[in-house]
């Protein structure tokens, strides 16, 4: 049977003239992929707003070492882009978006690889609100100078933003949906006669639907004087009694009629409806 031989080693310090490598001369390469690009849109700048424009443009800045770009458009808010462009691009136009909420995704690549993904939200609504009608609570012929109308529009995508109401040639009124409580709105005081009314419902993308109607304010009947003195003596009070509408305000004035040898007065009386006051 064979056996291993023995050996002896002497360990000593390395000679001072042995070549060494300084730490400061060791090369160090730091690998860093690009940060997520900052996406903006000149056509759809606010990600919280709705737009009726179907064509969109997106732009972003490129770092000096960018070698490629990957993009994607879809319904997911956090998707990873898959469509690659080389060399890198810094803008993209996309036409004919369908209605709804969309997300644009962008990612950059340098020599170290693909970096973080940026996401940009855009909301498209090109359709007007649903058709609606104007209803007159007291009928389209009324003695009430402030008729109550009812209307309510719906928009299934962006929602109703405000209403625009125009009566005849008067200046248009802008109303929030909350102002039209229980779908009813009391019109400002109107003069007797026929008037047209136009209501436009605007959604949050600026699309609108229009409803029109016509109503007539009837002139009220004049009050009837039932009792008044034929003559008055000095110091006596003038007392006039008559009939008019409930919850109305009556106005009375006198007109002096001059006759030879005597003075006479003519009594005039009128009333207004729907004004707080006291009837005759």
User: Does 165 have pLDDT greater than 70?
Assistant: yes
* Per-residue confidence (pLDDT) for residue 207, from 0 to 100: 98
* Per-residue confidence (pLDDT) for residue 252, from 0 to 100: 73
Q: Where residue 236 falls among pLDDT bands split at 50, 70, 90?
A: confident
User: Does 264 have pLDDT greater than 80?
Assistant: no
Inter-residue long-range contacts of 218-225, CB under 8 Å, 24+ positions, other chains counted: 218/141, 218/142, 218/143, 218/192, 219/143, 219/192, 220/143, 220/245, 220/271, 220/272, 220/273, 222/269, 222/270, 222/271, 223/250, 223/269, 223/270, 223/271, 223/280, 225/267, 225/269
Lowest mean pLDDT among 35-39, 201-205, 230-234: 230-234
- Domain limits, the chain: 50-124, 135-217, 224-272
- Measured CA to CA, the distance from residue 116 to residue 231 in angstroms comes to 100
Contact 148, 135 (CB under 8 A): no
CATH hierarchy code of domain 135-217: 2.60.40.10
* Per-residue confidence (pLDDT) for residue 73, from 0 to 100: 98
Between the CA of residue 173 and those of 82, 145, 149, 168, 188, what are the distances in Å?
Answer: 50, 18, 14, 12, 10
Is 44 strand, coil or helix? coil
Lowest mean pLDDT among 12-16, 70-74, 144-148: 12-16
Q: Which fold has domain 50-124?
A: Immunoglobulin-like (2.60.40)
Contact 213, 140 (CB under 8 A): yes
Percent of the chain with pLDDT over 70: 79
Lowest mean pLDDT among 3-7, 192-196, 224-228, 253-257: 3-7
* Per-residue confidence (pLDDT) for residue 26, from 0 to 100: 41
**pTM value?**
0.71
Q: Across all residues in the chain, what is the average pLDDT?
A: 84
The residue-averaged pLDDT of 199-207 equals: 98
The residue-averaged pLDDT of 208-213 equals: 98
- Measured CA to CA, the distance from residue 106 to residue 117 in angstroms comes to 6
The residue-averaged pLDDT of 114-137 equals: 97
User: Does 23 have pLDDT greater than 60?
Assistant: no
- pLDDT tens-digit map of 69-84: 999 999 999 999 999 9
């Amino acid at each position: 049977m064979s056996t291993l031989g023995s050996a002896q080693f002497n360990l000593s310090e390395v000679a001072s003239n042995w070549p060494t490598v300084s730490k400061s001369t060791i090369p160090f390469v730091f690998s860093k992929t690009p940060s997520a690009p900052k996406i903006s849109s000149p056509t759809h700048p606010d990600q919280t707003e709705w737009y009726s424009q179907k064509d969109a443009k997106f732009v972003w800045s490129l770092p000096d070492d960018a070698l490629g770009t990957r993009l994607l458009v879809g319904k997911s808010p956090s998707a990873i882009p898959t469509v690659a462009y080389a060399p890198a691009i810094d803008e993209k136009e996309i036409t004919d978006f369908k209605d709804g909420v969309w997300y644009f995704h962008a990612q950059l690549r340098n020599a170290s690889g693909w970096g973080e993904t940026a996401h940009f939200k855009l909301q498209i609504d090109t359709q007007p609100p649903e058709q609606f009608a104007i209803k007159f609570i007291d009928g389209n012929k009324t003695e009430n100078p402030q008729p109550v109308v009812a209307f309510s529009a719906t928009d299934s995508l962006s929602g109703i933003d405000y209403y625009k109401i125009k009566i005849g040639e008067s200046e248009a009124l802008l109303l929030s949906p909350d102002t039209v409580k229980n779908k009813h709105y009391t019109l400002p005081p109107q003069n007797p006669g026929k008037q047209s009314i136009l209501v436009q419902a605007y959604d949050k993308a600026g699309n609108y639907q229009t409803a029109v109607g016509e109503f007539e304010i009837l002139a009220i009947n004049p009050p009837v004087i039932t009792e008044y003195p034929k003559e008055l003596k000095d110091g006596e009070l003038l007392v006039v009694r008559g009939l008019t509408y409930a919850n109305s305000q009556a106005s009375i004035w006198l007109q002096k009629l001059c006759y030879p040898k005597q003075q006479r007065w003519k009594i005039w009386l009128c009333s207004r409806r729907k004004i707080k006051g006291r009837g005759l």
